Structure 1
């Protein structure tokens, strides 16, 4: 990703993305194919609609802690979303300028889970007795970049991971992956014709033998018809647990978004259209199914 205005923000977003793409082969496969087909010349030309993070809603952690990093660097907190079945709370954050991605931040509402699951989560998080973000110099880009990959709690046992997986796949993902970047998002409407609709882009991705999340259909569209989203199925990685157990678990994935032009701006010519003229924000029904890109029902095949 290529940014220009905020040096610290540039540094830690690029560091985050570089580590993420090393562990999500679909990023390079898709980018290389777009380059080979002459759609783009380099990764930097892809417009990143948003990046997403998952957190645990427990004392000293969760959104109230994690958001401080982005608020410090010019992001503005916007709409709240609630996912009743998955027991999640979320917000999105508008960037300081349009060349930066939106941020979508969610947290597991731990108090709403079974007592057994709460005990497992708190076994790992209770030793955290103060907000770790408060100990950071948020102007120190290197320190902030390192924080995203810092293990704030002990590596889980396989037994604990499996117990969490049985009740909340989100909880299991976070307890192992921590604050690792969950996904980045390609703005397909910013690409050239033939690739600038979600339908066309999905066909292109499937030609690369990349499997797409089909929960409630491959394309998830908002009720107003103006925001459509799709995603790959999460990459699987064999990992080791604290008790020596090993298994393949879900890592991160790639999302694709198409933001349609708002009705009041459809009279504008194509060269007049700017990001401000397109549908903003997110949609609970879309995001609910995008979350499942890391869920067993999607990854087990």
Structure 2
């Protein structure tokens, strides 16, 4: 993939994301106004299932072809997830964080539902760069979504939204207006945005070289096969990275913090 193609893909993913998270545009415009129009994206997050047809490695394909390299592996036992993050040698390109649900760790009923959804994905679509923001490839009744929700918030989100960015992330290190998450979070609260307070508003610390916070996902109307229901969609994250002993900024992720960030799309109580 050429550099122009990856830029086009990232821009298309951003525009798709904004249709699901209108708060992100408002927040982006807020920070752009405070930072001479410059808001740098730290990373993008994508979700999938560990079914061979749509596994993490398949979702990573267009990024690997564009020169991204795998850098970190993560596991989230409680949420039954594994993840990898990918980086490009061009520091202007955002990191890509891809997680996948360990379907075999769910009930047989949930496994059957998920496998039936994946069966409806046309394998030819997987070879297209736009698969990353192609949305849902299946019909699903609300009761089936609710059944998955009873076992896994992540599985339910995937069943409702399919393949598209789960969140984008503001790089606080590149903001002139704010150099700490406390002040940034307070600004967002003052502006009326809801923040994820699971584990505290700020996840992580300078000791682990990364602090993160996020909004709670916008609720939007989703068309199920039998009804339309408002459910949480996508959220906006904010990341502040700290220098390692060698002076370079930490570029990885902290599993304990990311575990709480996942809850930004939760429907049920934390």
TM-score range, shorter chain: over 0.9
In terms of mean alpha carbon deviation, does 11-20 or 98-107 score higher?
11-20
CA contact (8 A) 2:85 2:252 kept: yes
Distance 1:7 1:211, change over 3 A: same
Distance 1:226 1:296, change over 3 A: same
CA contact (8 A) 1:292 1:298 kept: no
CA contact (8 A) 1:81 1:91 kept: yes
User: Equivalent residue of 2:71, what SS?
Assistant: strand
Distance 1:181 1:53, change over 3 A: same
Q: Deviations over 1:50-104 (max 9, x none)?
A: 0000101112112021111110011001111011010001000012310000000
**Distance (whole Å) between structure 2 residues aligned to residue 17 and residue 27 of structure 1:** 10
Residue 279 in structure 1 maps to residue 250 in structure 2: yes
Structure 1 stretches of 5 or more lacking a match?
137-143, 266-276
Q: Specify the alignment match of 1:109 in structure 2.
A: 102
Corresponding residue pairs, total? 269
**Distance (whole Å) between structure 2 residues aligned to residue 80 and residue 222 of structure 1:** 20
Kindly report which structure 2 residues correspond to 1:126-165, keeping only aligned pairs within 5 A, or say none: 126-128=119-121, 130=123, 132-133=125-126, 135-136=127-128, 144-145=129-130, 147-151=131-135, 153-165=137-149
Q: Specify the alignment match of 2:35 in structure 1.
A: 40
Q: Specify the alignment match of 1:50 in structure 2.
A: 43
Query: Higher Cα Rg: structure 1 or 2?
Result: 1
What displacement does 1:254 show? 0.2
> Of residues 23, 28, 40 in structure 1, which corresponds to 2:20?
23
Q: Specify the alignment match of 1:175 in structure 2.
A: 159
**Distance (whole Å) between structure 1 residues aligned to residue 97 and residue 156 of structure 2:** 19
CA contact (8 A) 2:232 2:266 kept: yes
User: Equivalent residue of 1:263, what SS?
Assistant: coil
Q: Specify the alignment match of 2:238 in structure 1.
A: 256
What displacement does 1:12 show? 0.9
CA contact (8 A) 2:215 2:236 kept: yes
> Of residues 239, 255, 262 in structure 2, which corresponds to 1:291?
262
**Distance (whole Å) between structure 2 residues aligned to residue 264 and residue 96 of structure 1:** 19
TM-score, structure 1 as length reference = 0.84
User: Equivalent residue of 1:217, what SS?
Assistant: coil
